[in-house]
Homo-oligomer: A and B are copies of this chain.
Amino acid sequence: MLSRSHHSLRALSRTGRALAVRIDSPLSQQTVRRKSGPYGYTQAKALVFSKNGEPSDVLQLHTFSISPSISSKSVLLRSLAAPINPADINTIQGTYGSQPSFTSLIGTSSPSVIPGNEGVFEVVSTGDPASPIRKGDWVIPAVAQFGTWRTHAVAELDQVLKIDKEGLRATQAATISVNPSTAYRILRAYGPSTGVGGIGMRPLEVGSGEWFIQNGANSGVGRAAIQLGKLWGLRSINIVRERSSPEETEALKAELIGLGADVVVTETQFLSREWRDQLAEITNKGRDQIALGLNCVGGKSATALARSLSEGATMVSYGGMAKQPVALPVGLLIFKDIRFVGFWLSRWNQQDVAGRKHMINDIVDLIRQGKFQDVPLDEVAWNWDTDISTLAQEVQGGLQGFRRGKGIFVFGDT
């Protein structure tokens, strides 16, 4: 299943017209189903939840029809790929920072929410023939909590952002708006104190070789930060958890070095007594400042990260995988002037709509130029006949330990 889907997706992204091909083909029953009935209704499916809980307990697969008569300000979309991000799982569990509204818009018996913040869609039809977004274009959500875990959607034009799909795979387009965007924003906005009262701050200087340090460095954000940091002339110290064997750990280190990491250490090395000396060696006895820390773990790892920072540095938390609070010795705050802030991409995007558009285009260009590599993916095929238990288990699986890669729904025959 997985390889078949993977294959069909590749075909799709190479031609960029796969959908049309399939629609025209009498061989595909799914195609007929999608345009079923005399009135041209599209048959769609969506993962939904009507109450918070564990994904395997609360997710349901809901089938519904989309009318062909969409408004002139709308587009009908077919899903190509949609990642399974930790934020999506936390939204289902009810532990995320914001809770989408439960609605009956797609006809579920109880008001429900479609999870999924990120994904890429192909435009199937437009309400207005002169619409700036055209049939065959690729779009990503322009708003938070769009609900991407579904086969089709009708969206307002201002709810989506067109992506130049030229040379892009659907899985690449589907995974730029959360992880690379988070790394991009943090590296471009946060950094050392400007030293004049208050909490004034400047970002790390492009081309300077200034250091940043991050835990969870093999995560999607971590890999993006390594690559973007390298592209922007910065240097990185990267902390990863040990894998199940020393060989796998070494392989992961080599992989991150290959992406552009300057230093990779394991959590064990990082939390050991020797770390202080190793850090002194890396930073030229402290003469090179480490003015930015990226934390997605919390607990001991976050405290150790904070201790590794130079005076006046900023630690940005964007996740809390360890589910433990960040414990800060007061001296780090007062005497070392380390500033602790959080980063939430959804909030930033809301505040900076134009900036987001620019950033997405910038990232897409880097991918197209081969300067930015994808995170390893664990593709989950979603076809018309894929059942709820398969889908829900794949979501639930995202919670457990070491995944082979980032989970992502890849839509085949839907």
Contact = CB atoms under 8 A, between A and B. Distances in A.
Contacts of A325: 303, 327-330
Contact of A341 (B97, B317, B329, B333): B333
B342 A334 contact: yes
Interface string A322-341: 00011111111111111111
A197 interface: yes
Contacts of A195: 351
Contacts of A4: none
A359 to B, nearest CB: 11
Interface in A189-225: 189-190, 195-199, 201
B352 A197 contact: yes
Interface in A295-352: 298, 303, 314, 317-320, 325-344, 347-348, 351-352
A98 interface: yes
A335 B190 contact: no
Nearest to A296: B330
Given A97-B331, A189-B198, A352-B196, A339 B341 contact: yes
A199 B341 contact: yes
A299 to B, nearest CB: 9
Listed residue (A334, A338, A348, A351) with the most chain B CB atoms within 10 angstroms of its CB: A334
Contact of A340 (B319, B341, B352): B341
A334 B95 CA distance: 12
Contacts of A341: 199, 333, 337, 339-340
Contacts of A317: 330, 333-334
Listed residue (A330, A332, A347) with the most chain B CB atoms within 10 angstroms of its CB: A330
Given A197-B351, A199-B199, A333 B342 contact: yes
A304 to B, nearest CB: 13
Given A325-B330, A341-B340, A199 B197 contact: no
Interface in A89-114: 95-98
Given A199-B201, A328-B325, A97 B335 contact: yes
Interface string A215-247: 000000000000000000000000000000000
Nearest to A96: B335
A338 B342 contact: yes
B352 A342 contact: no
A196 B355 CA distance: 11
A216 B95 CA distance: 32
A202 to B, nearest CB: 10
Contacts of A196: 351-352
Contact of A198 (B190, B320, B331): B190
A388 B325 CA distance: 46
A314 to B, nearest CB: 7
B342 A335 contact: yes
A342 B332 contact: yes
Contacts of A198: 189-190, 201
A67 to B, nearest CB: 37
Given A199-B341, A328-B325, A334 B352 contact: no
Contact of A339 (B199, B318, B331, B337): B199
Contacts of A98: 335
Nearest to A90: B331
Given A189-B198, A325-B329, A337-B344, 6 more contacts: A185-B197, A197-B355, A199-B199, A317-B330, A326-B333, A340-B341
22 contacts: A95-B331, A189-B197, A195-B351, A197-B348, A197-B351, A197-B352, A199-B341, A298-B330, A317-B330, A320-B330, A320-B334, A326-B328, A326-B330, A326-B333, A332-B342, A333-B342, A334-B343, A336-B342, A338-B342, A339-B340, A340-B340, A340-B341
